[in-house]
Structure 1
Amino acid sequence: MLTAHQKTLVSQAGLDFDTLSEQRFCQLRQHPDLIVSADDAELVRFLQIANALYRGGEAAISDADYDFVYLAELKNRNPGHPLLHSVEPEPAFAGKTVDLPVIMLSTDKAYTLEEIERWAGRIEKAATEFGKNFAELIFKVTPKLDGYAAYDDGEMLYTRGDGRKGQDISRVFERGLQVANQGRRGLGPGEIVVSRSYFDKNLADIFDNARNFQASVIKEKQLDEHAERAIKEHAAVFYPFALLPCWTGPWQDLIGDFEHIVKTIWHQLDYDVDGVILEIVDDELKTRMGATRHHHRWQLAYKENLQTAEVRVLNVTPQTSRSGRITPVAELEPVRLSGALLSRATAHHYKMVVDKGIGPGAIIQLARSGEVIPKIESVIRPAEPQVPSHCPSCNHELVWDNDFLICPNNLACPAQISNSMEHFFRVLKNNDGFGAATIKKLYEYGIRRVDEIYALTGEQFESMGFGPKQSQNLVDQLARSRNEAVEDWRFLAAFGVFRMGLGNCERLLKHHALIDIFTLTEADIIAIEGFAEKTAVVITEGFANIKPLFEILLALGFNLQASQNPLSDVSHPLAGKSLVFTGTLHSGSRDELSKQAKAKGAKVGASVSAKTDYLVAGDNVGANKLNAARDKGVDIISEQEFLQLLNGNSA
């Protein structure tokens, strides 16, 4: 049964045991599998009571059970329930209730990399609609403190309450509570926390957990000696989010080194941290994306459910992903973890398999971090690894790409065909309507190549389940993609040849005509700066693979702009100059202006470096980008000044 203090917390939250008896609550928390037998009212009340106890420092269930068992049950039953879309209230403390200076929302949570990538996709969509370059956006990663949320406006300290109204707890500063890192007052949102090492040494025998102690700092009219001492020794502090250590950088850098960044930030503080916060730092885009009643759309908390188990590996099976990467999946002796019976786990890549010795007979430590298929945390006893040489989907020979094994046979590999078709239209960029959902439906109806899509009529689209208007729109978009001008290097990149992204395609076609690529030798490719011998071998094979499809599509009459346009005037002001565009431009899209600049011999980059000559600044450019350009000695010019240069007038 619940303790007297737990019952008090439930009562303070305005809850009772009419809908759900205390006995029934205790039964459901001790036997999570029985939650399916609870009716909707019991389930909601269980979550409300569990949250009240957690916020009051008397957690009745683990975070993992709350998220993956009880809350997941409500999401399955009623995804639109208000409890899922409102701020979970903090407990009431002594102090008057006041309006918060700003709305303090909860943070949406993610447990997998896939969820984070979907979040980034939503940001990219919003950035595109707002005329911002997603590649230039700066992301920030900070620790997610596990304390008591509060807001400091410099005069008053507020609890978060229900996100709109909280309690005045300014008394904690009057008692001597300090801002972390000798910071000043008035830095906005933060959390009241206690040093982890201090708690373990001085308070663990007195308080059940750190949250319980933090609650005593806030609600006690008279501090006991332990809380008073912790405040005096600055072990208990108010930590503003603005002072947290952080990582900042573009999305490509974040996703490319995600695990290392997360681990570094996660373990940087001597306070309880239960995840990391990811957010964009562009104020305009934050405003545009806005918030739900529950959370800001521009922010996300990445958390892990770190329950672990030691288990023996039976086998390691390769699987080909839609992108062509070969994922190692370890087949395991069945083990129960986080309430689920598990028999498989994924390793990050095959270099990990080789380096750590993940093979039949290995003993691994398994950690389930919210995924259906958990990941391997560490290897306790290594074994001889098994590394495939050929793709399990198409039997093509695999190649190494840094840490990953790759199947380069993107057009004919069954596991990659759908992704390759989607990739073609996405890279071509002069069409709408051929995203993942459309391609998936076409694949289900037997479409396996891009040329088959171009051969479809409106009637055939309708027969596959598309509506009349949508079918006609798809036909129109196919015609648009052929008629609208597109650079030859973009057309080549759309075929997805391994190692031939947009940059390498543009570099190659500056030296060789598009129609000549199939006659190029490895020596021809190596002769171009930036291409290595191993890369050339894979590229020539890739060109041979795409040749039949390439010739069919080229015959459809795409409006291709050739890269080999020698400068008629090498003295043009932009000849040999390196440019970066930023902000909102009015005389054309960035792609259009980039094309015009390149036609005059300029190089166009995505980010400012010491080699950049001009930063072309449109409207709504952040101060950080301008300061970075000034620090590197880069000339900052307006859009109008750029147009003057484009027309041959010196700056």
Structure 2
Amino acid sequence: MSESDVEGADEVRDDNPYIAEPSLDFTAVDDLSEAAAREQAAALREAIRFHDYRYYVRNDPVIDDRAYDRLFERLEALEDAFDLETENSPTRRVGGEPVEELGEVEHVAPMLSIDASVEADDVREFDARVRREVGDVEYTCEPKFDGLSVEVVYEDGEYVRAATRGNGDVGEDVTENVRTIESIPEVLRGDHPDFLAVRGEVYMPRDAFQEHNAELVERGDEPFANPRNAAAGSLRQLDPSVTAERPLDCFFYDVLGAWNGPGEESADDASEATASRGARELSGLETHHDEHEQFADWGLKPVEEEWYALVDDVEDAIAFRDDLLDAREDLNYEIDGTVFKVNDREACEELGTTSRHYRWAFAHKFPARSEVTTIEDVVVQVGRTGRLTPVALLEPVEVGGVTVSRASLHNQEEIAAKDIGVGDEVRVERAGDVIPYVDEVVEKRAEGYYEMPDSCPVCGSDTEYDGPIAYCTGGISCPAQLVRAVTYFASDDGLDVEGLGEEAAETLVDEGLVERDVADLYDLTMDDLVDLDGWGETSARNLLDELETSKRPPLDEFITAIGIPEVGPTVARDLARYFGDLDSILDADREDFQEVDGVGPTVAGHIAEFLGNERNREVIARLRERGVDPEPFETEGGEELDGLTFVFTGSVEGWTRGDLQDLVEAHGGNATSSVSGNTDYLVAGENPGASKTNAADEEGIPVLSPGEFFGLLEERGVDVEA
């Protein structure tokens, strides 16, 4: 693979040797002339910036962590030996620039990275330095999460802003996306500071990652390679409604700024305020352990107690890391090491920072999980939308305690870039402990690389490309696409037709009983089914009964079942609630869909394109001809609040925010998370957020106390029992 094969590499010098498959055999620093050192350092800086971009912005690294660390260490050594440090060197800042479309946010305090090593002796050297400079210390020990680091800011106890780490000083504005993560509270609990900025790690739980990838595959979409890429890709969506469909979570582990005061500062000038006042003015936050203990009281999810420790000896810290390594396979989140932090904040301030690292923290990393094996063959899978995905069949090998015999090759560009061919000896990694992938070719044995077929391996139709992705042109006539369409239609998120899984769908398609689209399911008879291999009267009758029952599905389940891209159960329910019935949805256009709370412009475009497609409308019409008639969306408690939209801020005694929103929606109203021109009332409880009350004033929206809110409900006939 050459640098010209790597997307984005055209922005670096053609002869830069540190882009693709970099050589890590360096000449000893002492043997270099100053001119040679300067030239090599320039190439390294250029390469590291490129690799930072691929890792932090594209979430698609070209080299592994160890190779990156070697390049970075070499640059540090050159700069130290020849006094080559420059203000814009990667060693002077944290890597990664914000994606421009998301906007930029200056952090309350720099979000630096942590020096790291796999070797225990490096941890001991870190401890020795710390004790020389500040004396005896305690360390907090916690997992090093493999997700996406974020800053989350609260004012007067209310969520106002979130940003990715970015370059350490400036990050991407992901406020509305982070707002969709259920574990991150809109309002803090307990005795919280007037201003609070915290650092956390957004991640996708491993079980949720597996389920989400299975849904993507059923929809015919590209699955994520690992949970970290899934979290990063989800958080950087330009459309928050896409993020809302992703099962994200967040751990919090550091306070960046906290104080009580008159409250005149806003999130926009918080960094200036921090610089003048100091990051912490609150008593009770003198140690990292204090912060850990406080998070739960504020309603922020802390590191799990089982995998958090406070120790006063470096050997105990190393033992903690080893125990966590042993337990790694049993955790429901990805980690790649353990972080040790000097507990006392005053000692941390004395130790200080470099331009890139905290000098009071160290990460004891885990060894990489990879093994070498041989590619025995490559097969091509056909997705529900016709997408062709190459999969390597491997000589079975155990990776991280699991036997791996298959690995995704992603697409033709990926294969060409890594020069992967049948017979090659390759390094396989279990990314995210779930999906194996081919990391690199270790020994080239094939001539050239594998090339995707010109025709679909299932139906023989021609293939065509959309960028790097190959598609079968056979459409619904391709049995593989039809099988997956039927399976998704009948899945739990769809119409929940018991007994119609992938195996049954394959049988029905192979036997020609379902040959056009999912509407053929409702033409099935006992005679069609009873003599199928492995079937009988009972299984045939059960399936027909299930199909009959499915003819009156809830509207949102029907919307999910028909397979609109990026529309899962949450967005489907928002659509059903807003439009009420199927005909209203079919008559709507893109602008109408964008009026739905929870539907952004990207998803609105997908919906409009899907429902505007003549073939898809024909399938819906055929379903309706066969008696499939989705029930109009109805609230359980009536329509007393029909047409009214409420926003809640602050706390209401005896009620959670979710309970209040459910109450409104159960009686025909809408409950949204932000104030807009469509809002009818803002309900302000104790410690209301300034941003929402100010927005209500600007829009001229009435602000109700909890008593006034419940009075309004009573006037409209809603019986409330608090």
Pairwise TM-score range, normalised by the shorter structure: 0.3 to 0.5
TM-score (norm 2): 0.36
TM-score (norm 1): 0.39
Larger RCO, structure (CA 8 Å, separation 6 or more) = 2
